[in-house]
A and B are shown apart, each in its own frame.
Chain A
């Protein structure tokens, strides 16, 4: 019997190819897209999944609460108390320390530069914390020696080929300094502290809790607290420790410790030195969108199959006349439904598999490691899908077997109402996706084309440590370096600063020092919080940052500073000639504001513009920005590499370089992914909505062919029929547009809230969605009515 049902189901597919193509293909596409988006969301929701007993680990974070300046939270924690953790706080069972140093080193191994963008120091137990699988080296003594470096498999393969590199010496400034202590298999890409190399953090005995210098060191510190109840106890005890050492910590205001669960740390916003890896709101909105997407595909699937059964009313009538009962009809419908479902799921799996690498390229995360085939939850997913199939199949078959046999006028009205509701749902989803895609694209494009105040194309930034004026051995004098850069043919201009021009986070390591400043006032010194950095006086002219007022001297004295527009607007009524000093400097060390310059984004536009003070006489220079004439890139870059290799050759410090345009593009990776996903889904939604509206209106109109035929013999023209349905569809369209726009507005707000700089033009998304939805809804309707109008009315008037 089942084989008969299946054979019949196949025949139905062949008879109604178009409708079934829409139903099955739409459902399959929906499943594939949703599977991609779920694996994408899981990738972020499951960050740091490989940590041993993940739920027992917390990151230490401290907040500095200042009565006048407000509260600042930092993801970095003081490293000196780390060693006290086990000794003084029994609730803490284990801890790890992680400290990345951004100072590039001049390292060589096997005669080649051994380039590490940053050197990462971790505590000895770090390999165990991340459950590293060791390929080479002694797992028990990987980081016992502070000169040992643990490298990843891919790093090892790139540098050493297939050779076991353990024991290889690494030279710093010509002297053997480090060695390879082990090789581990590549870590998952969704790890918070993922790197290709790790070195041992200082031996614990080497840093002292009574040393002010050691308290200056802050890094990522995690603690393991097996009992959740102890979390507050640990926070309390750590607060006591900070109170005890308050005098050597050197920060103002009250300090408060917070413990963040490891699974959530990469979503935490508002920390001054750790931007979230991904916005949790983005993840949730993507999950909501994918649910809606699936809803569209599933509703199309249900409607089309249900209506195809309706079309076969005669067949079921005859079957009933030949003795079939409701149970027989139910069995037949269930068998057919099962086949359609299985085909859709198989097709969905094939589509999903075939598009995995495409989706990975779009979202640029390793979704392959979160594929439906590798996830531990996949089994439950299959069970859920099967349950859905059985449940929906039983409900659909029961409902339709009853409808087919006992259809009453009331049920016809209910069916029409059901179709209208599904049409409205499809339209709502269409409105949402189109408005979101348009708005997100506009917001992205606006943020991407931000006025950077200076030419970001054709510019590279080198990071190399040098000491101005008095270069010590191992440093290359900045003035000589600048002179040599200018002599390279094709170089158009060069500038230097002590802050990173493309900084992902505004922290000390990028040259942005958030400090407490006193403004000189005749009455009293006013404390404020500001970012402070330094650059040479020619920096603004060379980088084309507009001078708003004042003069910047060619040769600055030590006591001169420039402030940006935000600083001047916020704190200074008459900025020129104003005086300020750092809270930590003595009372006589004042800087005079000599100029105000335009605000300039040296950081992602998600962050609001910062008030900034730039001292004009930097002692340390780290960043060299070099621009070349159009077409000279290929000559300039090799010459620069040669120059910096030479500059780094004599000392321990190395260099790194960053293409400014590419580095700026990195600011927007999350936004671009979200935009691409929104567009990607909007395109599919539009396709599915067009097919869905066509199919639904087709079947809906088909069900009313008799009425249409009667109207036709009563003299109705095409325009009369179109007007008749148009009225209903306009009503449904308006009914869908209102909640659609409301929901779209909420989703758009979630996205736009990420940016400090809001795009007013994004509002255009709403009329755009309304206009785009018009052909999606009304062209299928027009085509179906035209088809109905051209149909032979006698077919429907004589049959009953």
Chain B
């Protein structure tokens, strides 16, 4: 699914060079569930951003679903991301001015899916997540757990092969955290590849494999 070869990310300022990822080599198989752990600043989020095609490596290569991302244009990266990857964030990242329905609908909108199909798909997933009754609510009218469920619905509405989750339970209480992890486990069971960044050993244990990152290197 994902292959990283000697991948490095170096941030440069006028005077300092900071190596966030250092000569990383990693192979993530299709259908696997990976948890990335490590102390703050070790490069977890940077790695996730590069895998999610939101950032580019300074050195090295990344192959995702068989495509070497080094030579992709911005448009191609966009398309690949839209079709293949779903994101789940600690802060939910819902658009405040859009309703629950509209937030979930966004990826389909950009995929140019027709209105009737969009409606059907969104309503189906909201029903699955128990958010059907809240479809017209705005994010500030929802609890943290509900917001994360909406975020999860948006993440999977396009049926992505890869789900990247950046501390998805970080802002939730344990009950809601467990619920989100259960959903991710279900998604994994249905064949999705999941890469999750977490600090919490309890949630890391849901993964098939745990990668420890320190100073930009896999330990």
Contacts and interface: CB of A to CB of B under 8 A. Distances in A.
B38 interface: no
B106 A714 contact: yes
A713 interface: yes
Given A707-B97, A720-B110, A713 B54 contact: yes
B95 A794 contact: no
Interface in B170-211: none
Interface stretch (B23-31, B62-70, B81-89, B118-126): B81-89
A717 B82 CA distance: 10
A409 to B, nearest CB: 6
Given A797-B91, A797-B93, A716 B110 contact: yes
Contacts of A715: 78-79, 81-83, 106-107, 110-111, 158
A764 interface: no
A717 B75 contact: yes
A718 to B, nearest CB: 8
A622 to B, nearest CB: 79
Interface in B18-47: 45
A455 interface: no
B93 A706 contact: yes
Contacts of B216: none
B94 interface: yes
Contact of A792 (B54, B87, B89): B54
A205 interface: no
A710 interface: yes
B45 A793 contact: no
B54 to A, nearest CB: 5
Specify which of A712, A715, A792, A800 lies most central, judged by the most chain B CB atoms within 10 Å of its CB.
Answer: A715
A709 B89 CA distance: 12
B157 to A, nearest CB: 9
B149 interface: no
Contacts of B79: 715
Contacts of B109: 720
Contacts of A794: 45, 49, 54-55
A706 B89 CA distance: 13
Interface in A386-431: 409, 412
B78 A717 contact: yes
Nearest to A796: B93
Given A409-B96, A716-B110, A793 B82 contact: no
A413 to B, nearest CB: 8
B96 A710 contact: no
A313 to B, nearest CB: 15
Given A409-B140, A792-B55, A798-B91, A713 B81 contact: yes
B45 to A, nearest CB: 7
Given A409-B140, A720-B110, A711 B96 contact: no
A409 B82 CA distance: 30
Contacts of B75: 717
Contact of B89 (A712, A716, A797): A797
Given A715-B111, A717-B78, A797-B89, A710 B54 contact: no
A710 B111 contact: no
Contacts of B110: 711, 714-717, 720
Interface residues of A, number: 20
A711 B93 contact: no
Nearest to A707: B95
Given A710-B94, A715-B107, A715-B110, A793 B154 contact: no
A792 B87 CA distance: 15
Interface string B51-75: 0101100000000000000000001
A793 B91 contact: no
Interface in A771-800: 792-794, 797-798, 800
B10 to A, nearest CB: 15
Given A717-B78, A720-B110, A793 B54 contact: yes
A713 B48 CA distance: 13
A714 B55 contact: no
Contact of B87 (A409, A707, A713, A717): A713
A794 B111 CA distance: 21
A461 B201 CA distance: 103
Contacts of B90: 798
Nearest to B53: A713
Interface string A711-733: 11111110010000000000000
Nearest to A717: B78
B78 A710 contact: no
Specify which of A707, A713, A717, A794 lies most central, judged by the most chain B CB atoms within 10 Å of its CB.
Answer: A713
Contacts of A717: 75, 78, 110
B81 to A, nearest CB: 6
A714 B107 contact: yes
Contact of A710 (B55, B81, B95, B158): B95
Given A720-B110, A797-B89, A797-B93, A713 B52 contact: yes
A715 B159 CA distance: 13
Nearest to A790: B74
A711 B82 CA distance: 10
Contact of B95 (A412, A711, A792, A800): A711
A375 B55 CA distance: 62
A710 B93 contact: yes
A714 B52 CA distance: 11
A386 B48 CA distance: 54
Contacts of A706: 93
B45 A798 contact: yes
Nearest to A797: B93
Contacts of B140: 409
Nearest to B106: A714
Contacts of B154: 714
Interface in B135-163: 140, 154, 158
A21 B98 CA distance: 35
B106 A711 contact: yes
B159 to A, nearest CB: 13
Specify which of A709, A717, A797 lies most central, judged by the most chain B CB atoms within 10 Å of its CB.
Answer: A797
Interface in B102-121: 106-107, 109-111
B158 to A, nearest CB: 7
Contacts of B49: 794
Contacts of A709: 93
Nearest to A413: B97
Interface string A630-655: 00000000000000000000000000
Contacts of A712: 54, 78
A715 B111 CA distance: 7
Interface in A529-559: none
Contacts of A707: 95-97
A800 B91 contact: yes
A404 B32 CA distance: 45
A798 B40 CA distance: 14
Nearest to A794: B49
A412 B140 CA distance: 13
Specify which of B79, B107, B140 lies most central, judged by the most chain A CB atoms within 10 Å of its CB.
Answer: B107
27 contacts: A412-B96, A707-B97, A711-B95, A711-B106, A711-B110, A712-B78, A713-B52, A714-B106, A714-B110, A715-B78, A715-B82, A715-B83, A715-B106, A715-B107, A715-B111, A715-B158, A716-B106, A717-B78, A720-B110, A792-B54, A792-B55, A794-B45, A794-B55, A797-B89, A798-B89, A798-B90, A800-B91
CB-CB nearest 5 A-B residue pairs: A715-B82, A715-B110, A714-B106, A714-B107, A794-B49
Given A412-B96, A713-B93, 17 more contacts: A707-B96, A710-B94, A710-B106, A713-B81, A713-B87, A714-B82, A715-B78, A715-B79, A715-B81, A715-B83, A715-B110, A715-B158, A717-B75, A792-B54, A797-B89, A798-B91, A800-B91
Interface of A: 409, 412, 706-707, 709-717, 720, 792-794, 797-798, 800
